[in-house]
Structure 1
Amino acid sequence: MEIIFLIIGLIVLAAIIIISIKNRLIGLKNKVEYANGAVDAMFKQRYNLIPNLVATVKQYMQHESTLLERLVQLRSQAQSPGITDSQKNELNGQLDQAIKSFNISVENYPDLKASEQFSRLQASLNECEGQLAAARRTYNATVMNYNNAIEMFPTSIFASQMNYQRKEMITATQTEQQNPNVTNLF
C-alpha cells in the first residue's frame, strides 16, 4: 500500500514539475511577444511622427528632398504587411540612419530650427527614440531569458517538444557599429 502511495506521489510530483516547466516556457514566449509588441508600438509612434516632421520641414529643406523622400519610403516599407521581424529590424535600422542624417541636415537651416512646430516635433521624435531604445533593450533582455530557457537542460527537452525556436535579438547594423566621423559634420 505504501509503495502505491509512493508511486502515485512520484507521478504527481513529476506531473507538477512538467507542468511548471511548460508553463514557464509559455510565460517566457509570451513575454517575448509582449516585448516585441512594445517595440512595434514605438516604431508605429515614430512612423506617425515622420509624416508630420516631413510636412513641416519640406518648405525649408528644398535641397534635401531626397532625404525626406527616403524617410517616407523607409517608413512605408517598414509598415508593409507580411514582412518578417528580421526585415522589419533591417528597415528600422536604415530608418535610424536616415533620421540621424536628417538631424544633421537640420543644422543648415536656422529658420527651421527656430520654428516652434518643428521644435515640438523634434522633441517628440527624440523622446520616441529614447523610448524605442528602452523598448529594444527590454526586448533583447526578454529574448535572452527565453533563448536561455529553451537551450538549457531540462527545459530544452520540453521546448523542442513544443517546437520553440530561438528568437533573434535586435542588433545594430554594420553602419551603426562604426564610429561616426564628426569632422564631416562641420
Structure 2
Amino acid sequence: MGPFGIALIFIVIAVVVVVACIMLYNGIVQKRNRVDNAWQNIDANLQRRNDLIPNLVETVKGYTSHESSTLQAVTEARAAVSAAQTPQQTMEASDQLSGALRQLFAVAEAYPDLKASANFEELQQQLADTENRIVYARQSYNDCVYIYNNAIQTFPGNLLAGMGNFSAMDGFEASNDARTAPKVKF
C-alpha cells in the first residue's frame, strides 16, 4: 500500500469521526428540543387550568358568601402560576394552586346546593381532567430530562456537551407537602 492508500484510510477515518460527531451533536440537540417541547406541554396544561379557575371561583362565589379567604387563596395561587418565570417557580406555584383547589373543593362539601350545581360539577370534572393531564405532562417532561441528562453526562456525549454549551436540566420533584402523607382522622 502506497502513500495514496494510507492517506485515503486517514481521510475515511476522519470523515467517519466527523459524521459520528455531527450525529451525536444532532442527537443531543433533538433530546434538548424534546425537553423544551415537554415543558411547553406542561405550560399549555397549566394555562388550561388557569383559564378554568375564574369560572370556578365565580360559581363558588354565588353559593358561598363567607368563604372569601379560600377564594382569595385560589386567586393568589393562580396569579403566582401566571407570574412564574422559571420551571422551579412554576412547579412551586403549581403545587400551591393544587393545594388551594383541594381546599376549595373541601369547602364545597359544606354547600349541598353548590355540589349539586351542574356548572360546578362540570368545572370540577374539567379541572380533574386537567390535573391528570398535568401529571402526565410532568412525567413526560421528567422522562425527557432523564434521557437528555444521560446523553450529555455519558461518554462521548459529555465531550460534546462541554463544547456545545449543553447543561443538565432539572426535572419536576414533589414538594415537601406532597411527600408527607396526610393525617386521616376518623
For the aligned pair, the TM-score class normalised by the smaller chain equals: over 0.9
Q: Which piece of structure 1 moves more, 37-46 or 52-61?
A: 52-61
1:109 offset after TM fit, Å?
A: 1.0
1:106 offset after TM fit, Å?
A: 1.4
Q: State the partner residue of 1:119.
A: 121
Paired residues in the alignment total 183
Structure 1 runs not aligned, ≥5 long: none
Instruction: Give CA deviations for 1:134-158 in whole Å, capped at 9, x if unaligned.
Output: 0010001101101111111110110
Q: Give 4+ residue runs of structure 1 displaced > 4 Å after superposition.
A: none
* Residue 153 (structure 2) aligned to one of 146, 151, 154: 151
Q: State the partner residue of 1:110.
A: 112
Amino acid at match of 2:132: G
The answer to whether structure 1 residue 58 and structure 2 residue 61 are counterparts is: yes
Among the aligned pairs, what percent are the same residue?
Answer: 34
Q: State the partner residue of 1:98.
A: 100
1:116 offset after TM fit, Å?
A: 0.5
Structure 2 runs not aligned, ≥5 long: none
* Residue 36 (structure 1) aligned to one of 35, 39, 45: 39
Amino acid at match of 2:69: T
Q: State the partner residue of 1:179.
A: 181
Distance in 1 of aligned mates of 2:120 and 2:156: 55
1:163 offset after TM fit, Å?
A: 1.2
CA root-mean-square deviation:
1.2
Instruction: Give CA deviations for 1:44-65 in whole Å, capped at 9, x if unaligned.
Output: 0000000010011112222321
Distance in 1 of aligned mates of 2:64 and 2:151: 50
User: Do the aligned partners of 1:97 and 1:176 also contact (CA within 8 Å) in 2?
Assistant: no
Distance in 2 of aligned mates of 1:3 and 1:148: 37
